Amino acid sequence: MGYDYLKQVEYLNSLGLVDKNGQKIQYYDAFYGMKIEFLFEEPFQSYQEYINRAEKKYGFTPTLLAFIHNGNINAFAWKSNSLIGINAGTIIQMSELFSGVDYKTLMKGELESFHILDKVGQEGFLEKMYKYCQMFTFFHELGHIIQDDLRGISHFSEMVNCGSYSQEVHLMEYDADQYAAIQIANHINQWMESLEGKLKQAYYKKEVAEMLLSTGVGAIFINYLIFQGRHDAFYTNSCSHPHPSIRATYIMNTIVDAFKSGNKGGFDIDANSVFRNGFILTERVINDAHPRGVVFKNGDEFSRFFEIWEANQKEILEYVNVLKAMALETDGLAVEKYNGRIK
């Protein structure tokens, strides 16, 4: 294997970093030799490689990825200490969520055609969706590392905290979300372009691209719901992150637009069908997995989310426009760097 996780953890331990509560950060490395090793080792290798490539492109301080010894869902980017941390609980709980889904129920009715995605490559459909969900967490953190510090803010924790709000932080969360959605779209494009021969004949199609995009949209929605915890009330100027209904709204368009701009096949993507199926996937994954009580212990989180989304359309769109306008006026954001508008 390319990167040595245990060596990284040893080095990080020698730094003795402490969290906000003054507790020494505990890194998680007990997965080696256990059945769950693949859940950690594979993403570690590929994410550390993404970080190192981004480091060459954007020129930030060498940054390490580590899993944190904590069973709760959370992830953080700590720019001043050049560290991306993902709680072990995030990996394990997300994996349990997706492995708990009844595949047949998921694929019935309007999603029947998605079954073809189960047959291609080494991963089944649910494994692909899990991977997108996990990738979104990682690329969001990488986006924070690529961003310049606005007013010296250099630590981002992703579990939504409603005790703190700042407009700058909302903007930086928006930017990290945009960056991550673009990376998921790129990943889908690269996969489609890598197809050859018979596989290309069967899968290099607009319909397949739309299914993959719906899978990406669903994975991102689930990610938001997981990190948000409860979200009964709609808000704009509150909490550490924009409300998930706002994040869902801007992300849908970003992922489709990013895919279209990179797509060499000129597919005429039907965005509405992508969004509709993304919603259905989200609802089914959450509701089918929910009886097992893995993540959503508070009832039907998706219906509540959807009601809020429908009831606040006007405010949601207004706030999305506020964030967009702020992003255009601000230098040093990850997406701006990605687009090469500044050095």
Q: Which residues bind Zn ion (CB under 5 A)?
A: 156, 173, 176
Residue located via tokens 């989180």: 301
Find the shortest distance in angstroms from Cβ 171 to Zn ion. Answer: 11
Find the shortest distance in angstroms from Cβ 169 to Zn ion. Answer: 8
Find the shortest distance in angstroms from Cβ 328 to Zn ion. Answer: 20
Three-state DSSP at 108 gives coil
Residue located via tokens 């409860």: 230
- Burial letters 110-144, b for 16+ CB under 10 A, else e: ebeebeebeebeeeebbebbbbbbbbbbbbbbbbb
For residue 91, give every residue at least 6 positions away whose Cβ sits within 8 Å of its Cβ, in sequence order, or none. 39, 40, 43, 67, 134
> Nearer Cβ to Zn ion, position 121 or 332?
332
Name the residue number minimizing CB distance to Zn ion: 156
* Two tokens, residue 204: 């290099």
> Nearer Cβ to Zn ion, position 5 or 47?
47
16 φψ region: left (φ > 0), alpha (ψ -120 to 50), beta (else)? left
Find the shortest distance in angstroms from Cβ 153 to Zn ion. Answer: 11
> Nearer Cβ to Zn ion, position 78 or 156?
156
Structure letter (DSSP) for residue 164: -
* Two tokens, residue 115: 């079954």
Find the shortest distance in angstroms from Cβ 241 to Zn ion. Answer: 7
* Two tokens, residue 136: 């979104």
CA 259, distance to chain mean position in Å, is: 16
Find the shortest distance in angstroms from Cβ 106 to Zn ion. Answer: 29
Gap between the Cα atoms of 81 and 14, Å rounded: 13
> Nearer Cβ to Zn ion, position 92 or 172?
172
Residue located via tokens 């390319």: 2
Nearest to 69 by CA among 21, 16, 22, 9: 9
Gap between the Cα atoms of 290 and 224, Å rounded: 16
Find the shortest distance in angstroms from Cβ 206 to Zn ion. Answer: 32
Judge residue 314's burial from the number of C-beta atoms within 10 Å of its C-beta, 0-12 exposed, 13-18 middle, 19 or more buried: exposed
Find the shortest distance in angstroms from Cβ 240 to Zn ion. Answer: 8
> Nearer Cβ to Zn ion, position 150 or 192?
150
> Nearer Cβ to Zn ion, position 147 or 214?
147
Residue located via tokens 């310049």: 148
